[in-house]
Amino acid sequence: MKLTGRAAIVTGGGTGIGMGISRSLAEAGAKVAIAQPTLAKADAAADILRGDGFDVFPVVVDIRSREQVLAMVTSVIEKWGQIDILVNNAAVTGPKAASPFLEIDDDLLDRTIDVNLKGTFIVSQEVARRMTETGGVIIHVSSVGAFAAQEGASAYCATKAALTGLTKAMALELAPHGIRVNCIAPGDIRTDTSENVEDEIKERGLSGNYLRRIPLNRRGTPAEIGPTAVFLASDDSSYITGETIVVDGGFLIY
């Protein structure tokens, strides 16, 4: 298997796209630390994957806190002695991130920026410091919202666009340390939190006039994002860094 012997951290790895990535990494042979802000969700996801025979480790962390991030990194190193792969998937997204531009208050703005951008930055920084001697792979999870505006998601789109710039800047600076940095931009992926996204958009007073049709004529699944993470984490992508791969069923092609 492509990732046998490697240890990974997936933030937000117990739900939605994160769970799809955690499973795919585990299926490829990686040991996976599932990081969630609550123990219940981390444990629940870990129990599922352990039941399938995978080596997983639940970790509780608020990625906005450098102290908690340092504790997470220390616990993973104490358990497995290494961190080879980091997937920054945790984000404020879906209805929790939705609001008309003129109505976004400071609480929503701060929370979205602190989790989606600042938290990703902090986790990346602390993990990269451990990777400098051994090399490794860091993968950010962005969104098609980085490239195409979404109604009621100005703060979300701004933070996801920022991740494409962060990917390039980190790739440039970390390349001498043998650390590759790439990004995945998923399209409309069906998860528990996005199941009724069209209805929720309209309930929040948004028009819903700017929802795109998907050329493949269906929503994606978390299981269809995981293999891209495996590719970017493996030696199959050994000459790729600083790139964003869009996985969207054709959402952005027109």
Share of the chain above pLDDT 70, in %: 95
Instruction: Average the pLDDT over 115-137 and give the result.
Output: 98
Question: Mean pLDDT lowest for which of 50-64, 176-190, 195-209, 217-231?
Answer: 195-209
Dihedral of CA 115/117/118/123: which sign? Answer: positive
Q: Give 92's Cβ-side CA count (13 Å radius).
A: 27
Q: Convert 91-157 into a string of H (helix), E (strand) and C (coil).
A: CCCHHHHCCCHHHCCHHHHHHHHHHHHHHHHHHHHHHHHHHCCCCEEEEEECCHHHCCCCCCCHHHH
Q: Give the predicted TM-score (pTM) of the model.
A: 0.95
Supply the mean pLDDT for the chain. Answer: 95
Nearest to residue 130, comparing CAs of 60, 62, 59, 78?
Answer: 78
**Catalytic: 210?**
no
> Rounded to an integer, what distance in angstroms lies between the CA atom of residue 76 and that of residue 67?
15
Q: Tell me phi and psi for residue 81, to 5 degrees.
A: 80, 5
Report the C-alpha gap between 186 and 244 in whole angstroms.
Answer: 10
If one compares 95 and 121, the residue with the highest pLDDT of the two is: 121
Tell me 63's DSSP state: T
pLDDT at 96: 87
Specify the pairing of strand 85-88 against strand 56-60: unpaired
Burial (Cβ within 10 Å: 0-12, 13-18, ≥19) of residue 202: exposed
Encode pLDDT of 205-218 as tens digits.
677 778 889 999 99
CA pair distance 221, 235, nearest whole angstrom: 25
Contact 187, 246 (CB under 8 A): yes
Domains of the chain: 7-246 (3.40.50.720)
251 and 214 Cβ atoms separated by less than 8 Å: yes
- Contacts (Cβ under 8 Å, ≥6 apart) of 165: none
> Left, alpha or beta for 26 (phi > 0: left; psi -120 to 50: alpha)?
alpha
Catalytic residue among 156, 210, 239, 254: 156
